[in-house]
Amino acid sequence: MLRILGSPRRLCDGLTRREMLLAGGLGMLGVDAMANPPTTDRTFGSAKNVILLYLFGGPSHIETFDMKPDAPPEVRGPFKAIRTKLPGADINEHLPRVASIMDRVCVVRSLTHPWNFHGMQWATTGLPEGSIPIEETLKHPQHWPFLGSVFTHLDQRRNGPKPAGSIPDNIMLPWLLSTRRPANRYAPPQGCYLGQQFDPLWADFRGKATRSMSRMSNGPAEMIADPYLGITPESRFEFTGDSDSDLTIDRMHQRRNLLEQFDIARRTIDRSSREQRFDHHRRLAYELVGSTKVRNALDLDREPRSLRESYGMTLFGQGTLQARRLVEAGCRFVTVIWDEVGQLNAGWDTHVDHKNRLQNDLLPGFDRAFSALILDLEQRGMLDDTLIWVANEMGRTPKLENNGDGRGHWGRAYSNLLAGAGVKRGAVVGRTDKIGATVTDRPISAKDILATIYHLIGVDPETTVTDKLNRPINLLPYGEMIPEMIG
């Protein structure tokens, strides 16, 4: 099996800790065998909640958090760097609000892997090796459980399911991944061998975009109404229990009697796993519709208009605010994805129209949402036990392409941000070369980031779970907790 950067931890007798556990039979005890190892590190388990902000497409590290102002123009790009509250961490001029809160943030500049394709499965699971078929096949036998699914699974094994009517954990916004793009979909995060009950609960977005932008990523330019540019204040997130983007709560109720009749008929029929998964999420959606806690948590009008606007009246801004409200209401793991809309190569996948999209869409939207989340959690006393992880699957090419207005995929160097519970404030980890092409100091794998997050949520990364054949599987086949990131 391919191992990159990280490696299994070895004991003094030369055996890996994993081998010792399996040889002794402890691996068959399942998840609790290693979920709470003794530790004196005060940061272990400091994160009670997690908010994952996923920037799908691969943001340009060179034009966000790893600026190269002294590089040639074709490398540094069209933007200037500005100073921040974190010395040595200059960032893009179009991130002024983020610059003011960088003293609360840990910047990891030395993430690296050998692949140049979109890899949310790679970035957010224990998947040992990346591949295009795994990323682009909705149900691939080699998929691994999403971090949020593992989080929920372990918590339920320790503490039991949440009471009926509670806010569930492992919620994703704004909709089922890549269902607003015109071509083949990417595989969404899922529970895999943990069971379909640990799939993320996907919300859906009900609202209108207030702005449009010309897009030309996969053909002639066309005006796309993009909610990431702006949405109406009345826009909302809902739970429908269905990936059908046209299914509303009202339609759910209209169809309920018919669906119940179908249920009776189907009790005598062997159903496919897809149907069973649909039934599970549909039942959960009905429970949520009837929950006062959920209705209140989804009511963004309960927030002052000034606070809503501080996050940005955009899909990502309001999704990030919604994540904070869900965590405050009891959801312990929320993911907000900046997804593609309308065309291929949308979102942060800036092959074309690079300068315009960064300057007038992507950077301003992220600037408001991320900075507002940090300050909001801090003001509410929630930052010390809420972990924020800004993640992505890769960076962009060191040199501009497409006549100087685009950058291609680049896995060999990219950046992530972390903040909150147990994360070292005001830290910069790793370094790339003068053009942002290769890592020159402290190379880090996505699995090292996951190992660090597992540490912060109180899980030994070598915890074992069992697959559908009752075989012990480690959460991470490799990866090491990064000490420089915590403190």
- CATH number for the region 17-485 comes to 3.40.720
C-alpha angle 290/296/300, rounded to 5°?
130
More reliable by pLDDT, 474 or 41: 474
pLDDT in tens, 392-444: 999 999 999 999 999 999 999 999 999 999 999 999 999 999 999 999 999 99
Residue 279 confidence (pLDDT): 58
Residue 11, pLDDT > 70, answer: no
- Measured CA to CA in angstroms, residue 327 lies from 70, 170, 317 at distances of 42, 10, 16
Q: Which residues pair with 200 in a beta bridge?
A: none
Asked whether the bond before 233 is cis by omega within 30 degrees of 0, the reply is no
pTM of the model: 0.86
DSSP string covering 29-70: G-GGGTSS-----TTTT--SEEEEEEETT---GGGTTS--TT
pLDDT in tens, 323-336: 999 999 999 999 99
Mean pLDDT (whole number) for 161-190: 91
pLDDT in tens, 38-63: 456 889 999 999 999 999 999 999 99
Residue 289 confidence (pLDDT): 64
Spans of all domains in the chain = 17-485
Residue 157, pLDDT > 50, answer: yes
Rounded to whole angstroms, the Cα distance separating 151 from 366 reads: 26
DSSP string covering 65-102: TS--TTS-HHHH-S--EE--SSTT--EETT-HHHHTTG
Q: Which of 66, 41, 297 is nearest to 169 (CA)?
A: 297
For residues 397 and 413, the answer to whether their CB atoms sit within 8 Å is no
Q: Which of 157, 179, 344, 298 is nearest to 245 (CA)?
A: 179
Residue 231 confidence (pLDDT): 98
Residue 19 confidence (pLDDT): 38
Both tokens of residue 12? 């003094």
Mean pLDDT rounded to a whole number for the chain? 85
